[in-house]
């Protein structure tokens, strides 16, 4: 772990101030796992299990995938907090995280993240199958080693390729039920892959100064607003087209493509409204990038809800 330690060598030494009660300690460790991020990942995991099973998935397999999938995501997020503890202190959006507030020691956070990773991988292997376990472990390693340590602070394409880790719950959910992979989860993997950049970039547009202060080269920090918006539109089109590909690949009913098309049109309209506001002379917060960010959350949740409902209608 020399690389991780050296990254913090120049950071000022501060005494850890642990929470004053058991409840606050538990809350701090839960916060390390980034529960709101986990919620988004689980939204893509459960519906895929319905699709994989062609209806209601087996109860216990579904429960184990969700439980150990939560621990897997929590592991990756806790380790990310450990690595990013220096820049989290510089950003308004992250300065209230437990390590930034010195509620948990770096060593404790590192151990916590590693333990969650071991438990989640072993749990998936025993309770489901080796493929789901290996996909889960691969997602943790990719997020921590490739995104957090290599890409995030070095390239504006960080979230494009780093977002692969966030696509893995789709594969894990499918493998947990079927013990194999297929074209359907690969299509949904593509949906999440193309969805991630515009979703993240619009958030980064709102907190551009934060990322600049932390010297994280997110695209809105190093590129013009026009380039960010145009690339976001391109990725949004790719997301919508990829979502429609599930219809012939998975043999869904007409329910899914109709819902996917309606949601896609609404998402594209919101993306093009960003460009319209830019062309009208708006800039910065007046572009209202958070409108697209919040809508993209709803888009993904509703799309995957349609994925879960469709096999029940067949």
pLDDT over 50 at 138, yes or no: yes
Comparing CA positions, the residue from 247, 244, 242, 241 lying closest to residue 310 is 247
- Measure the CA dihedral 308/310/312/314, to 10°: -150
Q: Given pLDDT bands bounded at 50, 70 and 90, which one contains residue 10?
A: very low
Distance of CA 87 to the CA centre of its chain: 19
Taking the CB of residue 216, how many other CB atoms lie within 10 A of it?
20
Q: Given pLDDT bands bounded at 50, 70 and 90, which one contains residue 21?
A: confident
What integer is the mean pLDDT of 254-261? 98
pTM over 0.95: no
- pLDDT tens string 24-41: 889 999 999 999 999 888
pLDDT of residue 31: 95
- pLDDT tens string 206-249: 999 999 999 999 999 999 999 999 999 999 999 999 999 999 99
Q: What is the mean pLDDT of the chain?
A: 92
Q: Given pLDDT bands bounded at 50, 70 and 90, which one contains residue 20?
A: low
User: 292 vs 197, 199, 233, 286, CA distance in Å?
Assistant: 12, 7, 11, 13
All domains of the chain in start order, with CATH: 28-180 (1.10.357.140), 182-313 (1.20.120)
Contacts by 58-67, CB closer than 8 A, 24 or more apart: 58/177, 60/127, 61/127, 61/128, 61/176, 61/177, 62/176, 62/177, 64/123, 64/124, 64/127, 64/128, 64/176, 65/124, 65/128, 65/132, 65/172, 65/173, 65/176, 65/177, 66/42, 67/123
Q: Given pLDDT bands bounded at 50, 70 and 90, which one contains residue 19?
A: low
User: 48 vs 45, 74, 172, 180, CA distance in Å?
Assistant: 6, 20, 9, 13
pLDDT of residue 93: 86
User: Contact at 8 Å (CB) between 267 and 296?
Assistant: yes
Q: Given pLDDT bands bounded at 50, 70 and 90, which one contains residue 9?
A: very low
- pLDDT tens string 186-205: 999 999 999 999 999 999 99
Q: Concatenate the DSSP letters of all residues of 140-172 into one string.
A: HHIIIIIIIIIITTT-TTHHHHHTHHHHHHHHH
In the block, residue with structure tokens 């879960």: 308
Comparing CA positions, the residue from 215, 196, 220 lying closest to residue 88 is 215
Q: Can you say whether residue 186 is alpha, beta or left, with left for phi > 0 and alpha for psi between -120 and 50 degrees?
A: alpha
| Torsion 131-197-248-69 (CA) sign | positive
pLDDT of residue 190: 98
pLDDT of residue 5: 40
User: Contact at 8 Å (CB) between 37 and 30?
Assistant: no
The strand ranges marked E within 65-143 are none
What integer is the mean pLDDT of 68-97? 94
What integer is the mean pLDDT of 144-161? 96
User: Which residues fall within 8 angstroms of residue 177, CB to CB, at 6 or more apart?
Assistant: 49, 52, 53, 57, 58, 61, 62, 65
pLDDT of residue 1: 34
What integer is the mean pLDDT of 249-269? 97
pLDDT over 50 at 6, yes or no: no
Comparing CA positions, the residue from 44, 8, 153, 31 lying closest to residue 103 is 31
What integer is the mean pLDDT of 84-95? 91
Comparing CA positions, the residue from 176, 188, 75, 174 lying closest to residue 133 is 176
- What SS3 state is found at 201? helix
């Amino acid at each position: 772990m020399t690389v991780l330690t050296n990254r913090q060598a120049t950071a000022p030494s501060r005494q850890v101030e642990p929470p004053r009660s058991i409840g606050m300690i538990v809350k701090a460790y839960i916060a390390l796992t980034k529960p709101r991020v986990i919620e988004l990942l689980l939204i893509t995991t459960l519906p895929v299990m319905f699709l994989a099973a062609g209806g209601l998935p087996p109860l216990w397999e579904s429960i184990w995938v969700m439980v150990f999938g939560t621990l897997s995501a929590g592991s990756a997020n806790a380790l990310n907090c450990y690595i990013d503890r220096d820049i989290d202190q510089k950003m308004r959006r992250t300065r209230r995280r437990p390590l930034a507030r010195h509620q948990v020691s770096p060593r404790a956070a590192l151990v916590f993240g590693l333990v969650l990773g071991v438990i989640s991988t072993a749990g998936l292997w025993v309770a489901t199958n080796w493929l789901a376990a290996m996909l889960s472990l691969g997602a943790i390693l990719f997020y921590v080693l490739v995104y957090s340590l290599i890409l995030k602070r070095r390239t504006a394409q960080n979230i494009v390729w780093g977002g692969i880790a966030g696509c893995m719950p789709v594969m894990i959910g499918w493998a947990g039920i079927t013990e194999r992979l297929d074209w359907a989860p690969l299509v949904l993997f593509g949906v999440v892959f193309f969805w991630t950049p515009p979703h993240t970039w619009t958030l980064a547009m709102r907190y551009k100064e934060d990322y600049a202060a932390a010297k994280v080269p997110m695209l809105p920090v190093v590129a013009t607003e026009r380039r960010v918006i145009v690339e976001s539109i391109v990725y949004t089109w790719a997301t919508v087209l990829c979502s429609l590909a599930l219809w012939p690949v998975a043999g869904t009913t007409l329910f899914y493509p109709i819902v996917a098309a309606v949601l896609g049109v609404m998402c594209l309209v919101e993306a093009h409204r960003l460009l319209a506001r830019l062309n009208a002379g708006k800039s910065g917060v007046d572009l209202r990038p958070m409108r697209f960010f919040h809508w993209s959350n709803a888009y993904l949740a509703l799309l995957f809800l349609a994925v879960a409902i469709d096999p029940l209608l067949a």
